[in-house]
Amino acid sequence: MDAGCLKKAVLGCAVLVLLVVQGANGGDFPLYPPIVPLPPLVVPANNPQTAAKIELGKQLYFDPRLSGNNWISCATCHNPVLGFGDGLPRMLGGPTSREGGRHSPTIINCAYNEFQFWDGRASSLEEQALGPIQSPNEMNETLDNVVRKLNVIPGYAKAFKEVFGTPVTADGIAKAIAAFERTIVFANSPFDRYMQGDARAMSESAIRGMELFMGKAECIVCHNGPNFTDNQFHNIGVPADGPIKEDLGRYNVTKNNADKGAFKTPTLRNITDTAPYMHNGFFPTLFEVVQFYNGGGGRSENKSADMHALHLSTQEVEDLTEFMKALKGELVQIKYEAIPLAYPNLPKDF
């Protein structure tokens, strides 16, 4: 069955999808991976989670000394009080706080991503972590220098010895930060509780929105599976905005023409915390995002065949938005014993 045919089957069977997704029908119906609560996180065998490593990763994540001017930390752009983003359309980084071309995505549930970055140029969190440190537009530091700086801080030297049995290394920095990021998991949203049998966890409007999401509005075509992403790349025609005239997205990685202007389908969990939206922060509100989809997306020669006008009523647009609000979960606190370090002082809650 080809993709178009598959889609027709899905729409024709929207009701059946609903039954399958809700678990009322135990049958096997291999359409889009259903939207369901998150499964336990799979941790790579070469970087097991330990309390001491997570604590070290947390210190590194909040430490501006990882940057060239000792000013910018990961949390500058992935700030816990801003939904682990920065609340800006596009990041500000580098020594002169220049505006970059892309929106800082949240790191909430990024441990579930098959690809990191809007264009998927990294896959593992370990691989990703050293990128921003070295990028001239972000933290603008060399790995040699950061390793040298941290090695002379007694707290770090001691912690690396304890966790990795070595002095500070770039590999250790990457592993510790990745271990910390694997604790930033948000779950137990109204949607999750509804799916687990609490019929009152979502409002009637959100429930209607969920049906639209899986049916008439076709969002599930791309935002599917427990983290609301197919881990694929699509061009939905988001207009250019900001310093980059034309962002080719996934094409920069694959050099495949079909990938021009395609970006990773982002998670929709905790989406109310991470405005503005899209790879360049083009849309300030969820309402505008839904209106954009309602009109069939933007204009692009290379636009996905899955984008077309949806003919949603005003009430339906509102219901879809309500459903997305119900995806706001809470940090699943994983308690580990903290190992005090000499430096630095950290925010109390993290």
Q: Which residues bind ligand HEC (CB under 6 A)?
A: 72, 74, 76-78, 91, 93, 100, 102, 104-105, 107, 110, 113, 116-119, 125, 128-129, 132-133, 138-139, 177, 217-219, 221-223, 234, 236, 238, 263, 265-266, 268, 271, 274, 277-279, 286, 289-290, 293, 304, 306-307, 320
Q: Which residues are catalytic?
A: 138
CB of 98 vs ligand HEC, minimal distance in Å: 9
**Do you find a cis peptide bond into 276, omega within 30 degrees of 0?**
yes
Residue 94 Cβ vs ligand HEC, minimum distance, rounded to whole Å = 7
- Give least dist CB 90 to ligand HEC, A: 7
Q: Which is nearer to ligand HEC, 37 or 64 (CB)?
A: 64
Please tell me the distance from the alpha carbon of residue 97 to that of residue 308, in angstroms, as a whole number. 38
Give per-residue burial for 194-209: e unless 16+ CB within 10 Å, then b. Answer: bbeeeeebbbebbbbb
CA dihedral 82, 86, 87, 89 (to 10 degrees): -160
Buried b (16+ CB within 10 A) or exposed e, 263-273: bbbbbbbbbeb
Our CB check for ligand HEC shows the closer of 132 and 341 to be 132
- Looking at the Cβ atoms of 117 and 164, the one nearer to ligand HEC is 117
DSSP characters for 81-97? GGTTB-SSSS-EETTTT
Cβ proximity to ligand HEC: between 52 and 235 the closer is 235
Query: Of 242 and 266, which CB lies nearer to ligand HEC in the complex structure?
Result: 266
Buried b vs exposed e over 288-312: b needs ≥16 C-beta within 10 Å? ebbebbbeebbebebbbeebeebeb
Q: How far is the CB of 219 from ligand HEC (least distance, A)?
A: 3
- CB 286, min distance to ligand HEC, A: 6
Token reading at 95:
């020594």
Helices (H) and strands (E) in the chain, counts: 13, 6
**Cβ neighbours, 10 Å, residue 60:** 26
